[in-house]
Amino acid sequence: MSGLRPVVLSGPSGAGKSTLMKRLMKEHEDVFGFSVSHTTRNPRPGEEDGKGLNKLPMLLGATLLPVADVFSSEDLEMSTSFSCPNESETTDEDYHFTTREAMEEGISKGEFIENAEFSGNMYGTSKAAVEDVLAKNLICILDVDIQGVKRIKETDLNPIYISIQPPSMEILEKRLRDRQTETEESLQKRLEAARIDMELSKEPGVFDIVIINDDLERAYEELKDILNEEIQKVQEAKS
């Protein structure tokens, strides 16, 4: 084992998770990794089982997200523990392709930290997929909503829990509108989910740190500080 801890990154849509992570990944190349999700859907031409393991997608949360599938689905609910990427930011990250029987068995054995169903297909993130990333001496980033945080707390993954929060609902709404990625309906869903997230993130003991992303520079420094020890571990193991 690498001794690395995974990192759970949570917070409302539009709080700035992707912005901060992209910057961190740019500054620290080959330090962060994303796990490969399982799915029961059929592979598309060119897709290979588990091929995405070493890829570092530019999209935060690609590990947990059946991105293209989610957005071809009409039954996406904000209440799932999968957070929602920008529709424009799709990834061709591959999956571990599996059967419904095998996946249901894995879920019943507690092998999955998240699972959900979209358009008749199951998707999920296994603990083993997270451990595979750590074993490759990469810090595994898990971008999950507050429900996902609670599920991960039931595992023995021992991650660092980080919440990225906007300074206020008004500013969040402005950022989401300025991002121009949402319809009015999806914007309202995100704002509603954000209200709940902002409340729950105040519960003591849920997160190791709550970073208020007001000034981007300061928020970035706070994020780097809390991840410094893990980043050092990766760099030392390389040298």
CB atoms closer than 10 angstroms to residue 3: 9
Q: Are strands 121-126 and 38-39 parallel, antiparallel or unpaired?
A: antiparallel
Out of 6, 8, 10, 13, which residue is the one contacting ligand ATP (CB under 6 A)?
13
177 flagged as catalytic: no
DSSP for the chain reads ---PPPEEEE--TTSSHHHHHHHHHHHSTTSEE-PPPEE-SPPPTT--TTGGGG---SSTTGGG--HHHHHH-S---TTSSB----TT-------EE--HHHHHHHHHTT-EEEEEEETTEEEEEEHHHHHHHHHTT-EEEEEB-HHHHHHHHTSS--PEEEEEE-S-HHHHHHHHHHHT---HHHHHHHHHHHHHHHHHTTSTTS-SEEEE-SSHHHHHHHHHHHHHHHHHHHHHHH-
Choosing from 41, 179, 195, 218, the catalytic residue is: 179
16 binds ligand ATP (CB under 6 A): yes
How long, in residues, is the chain? 239
Contacting ligand ATP within 149-188 (CB under 6 A): 175, 178-179
Q: What is the per-residue binding string for ligand ATP in 192-231, x denoting contact by CB under 6 A?
A: ---------------------x--x--x------------
Choosing from 44, 100, 195, 218, the catalytic residue is: 44
Q: Is the torsion defined by CA of 223, 228, 230, 235 positive or negative? A: positive
6 binds ligand ATP (CB under 6 A): no
38 binds ligand ATP (CB under 6 A): no
189 binds ligand ATP (CB under 6 A): no
Choosing from 175, 190, 195, 218, the catalytic residue is: 190
195 flagged as catalytic: no
Nearest distance from C-beta of residue 193 to ligand ATP, angstroms: 10
Q: Rounded distance, CA 49 to CA 16, Å?
A: 31
Nearest distance from C-beta of residue 190 to ligand ATP, angstroms: 7
Nearest distance from C-beta of residue 97 to ligand ATP, angstroms: 26
147 binds ligand ATP (CB under 6 A): no
Out of 15, 25, 133, 142, which residue is the one contacting ligand ATP (CB under 6 A)?
15
218 flagged as catalytic: no
Q: What is the per-residue binding string for ligand ATP in 50-89, x denoting contact by CB under 6 A?
A: ----------x----------------------xxxx---
**Interface residue list for ligand ATP (CB under 6 A):** 11, 13-19, 60, 83-86, 175, 178-179, 213, 216, 219
Residues involved in catalysis: 44, 179, 190
